[in-house]
Amino acid sequence: MSKFIETNGRHRTIEGWPLVFTILTVLAVLVGGTVEFLPLVLMEGNIPVISSVTPYTPLELTGRDLYIREGCVNCHSQMIRPFRDELERYGDYSKPGESVYDRPFLWGSKRTGPDLARVGGKYPDLWHVRHMEDPRSTSPNSIMPPYYWLLSRPLNLNSLERKMKGLQRLGTPYTDEEIQGAAADAEAQAQNLARNISANGGPSDLAEKEIIAMVAYLQRLGTDLKKATK
């Protein structure tokens, strides 16, 4: 060791060889990431498959991308840790197999608001509409920003096919038929949701608005595991 670091030792020699120095640095840097990452990809046991976890529907996928656009992940996590208080507050802890179709993952790193991993089904559809329009109408004292524009901006389904094709290439099991019928599927799911919202006394013109996709996505969150227990 001392031969290496003494004032005119071997390290002094490689300080005169930038190329060697750079190669050694790259090697030192690559070791850790490689050793940790390869097992995650190669060992299937690390991410046990949950058969009831299925890809997002076209409308939910659209809503998920709106969730990303608005930066919801900055304040809401989607990752319940295996602690008693979190199970009590949010439900069962999150499993690795639950986010296999999440590109990107949206686990978050900050809970300025509560965790949303299992928010699906917790509130009625109309609650979400009211909450996004004016968070304080459903949750007094909330510090969440209002997202009223989701109720007026038109729902854009034009890029759905391209998005789903991209996901299919990456391994999400969408069939070609599902991709071709994506827009129609999304519209049908949107109509259903919108009917339910207006039947419960909510606005009646939301079927073609962004909010519908957002509600569809939020109501989906964490529900796959419940399908498994039914």
Q: What is the closest distance, in whole angstroms, from the C-beta atom of residue 48 to other proteins in the complex? A: 10
Distance CA 71, CA 203 (A): 25
Distance CA 161, CA 174 (A): 11
Distance CA 79, CA 216 (A): 19
User: Which residues is 209 bridged to in the sheet?
Assistant: 154
- Residue closer to other proteins, measured from CB, 12 or 227: 12
- Residue closer to other proteins, measured from CB, 163 or 195: 163
Residue 186 contacts by C-beta under 8 Å, 6 or more apart in sequence?
57, 58, 59, 62, 157, 160, 213
- Residue closer to other proteins, measured from CB, 47 or 207: 47
Q: What is the closest distance, in whole angstroms, from the C-beta atom of residue 191 to other proteins in the complex? A: 25
Q: What is the closest distance, in whole angstroms, from the C-beta atom of residue 197 to other proteins in the complex? A: 22
Distance CA 45, CA 34 (A): 18
Q: What is the closest distance, in whole angstroms, from the C-beta atom of residue 129 to other proteins in the complex? A: 17
- Residue closer to other proteins, measured from CB, 165 or 195: 165
